[in-house]
Amino acid sequence: MSSTPPSPVGVLFICMGNICRSPLAEGVFLCKIRRRGVADRFLVESAGTGGWHVGHRADPRAREVARHYGVSLDSTARQVIRADFDRFDHLICMDNDNRSDLLDAGAPPDRVRLLLELDPGLKVREVPDPYYGGADGFQRIYTLIERGCEALLDDLLAPER
């Protein structure tokens, strides 16, 4: 008796321009699912609410901090499209502005959440945009994103899901 394997769980990480926070979250999450041996259970991408950087690689500062932790950032920036609302089960935003933009664009509210909302140990709920700052801001967001991705993955792999 052959059974069809379940469809992969779609996770789309979203920030403003898709060159700093969301590609870093995509890379960290991909690294975590590979290490846990569950990569085949997920479809993971990132996108931005704006289109300014479409086609560009991640910011060099994001790539540098990722490389330091053994994470590769291979995606190129793209803008969120309406079809993403159906294609991805989880629309994971870096901040409330991104969440509001998605909801205003018609994203299903039950699929939209903040990356950091699942880690009760964090005092912040938004990943700040490091674009106009220095390298230290990218180190800070890496730490937040790593914790958020760990909590998200634990939640998605929980038996009751």
Give the active site residues: 15, 21, 129
The H-assigned helical ranges of 51-112 are 60-68, 84-87, 96-104
* Consecutive H or E run containing 43: strand 42-48
Per the DSSP assignment, residues forming a β-bridge with 92 are: 13, 113
| 129 CA to centre of own chain | 14
Half-sphere CA count of 121, side-chain side, radius 13 A: 6
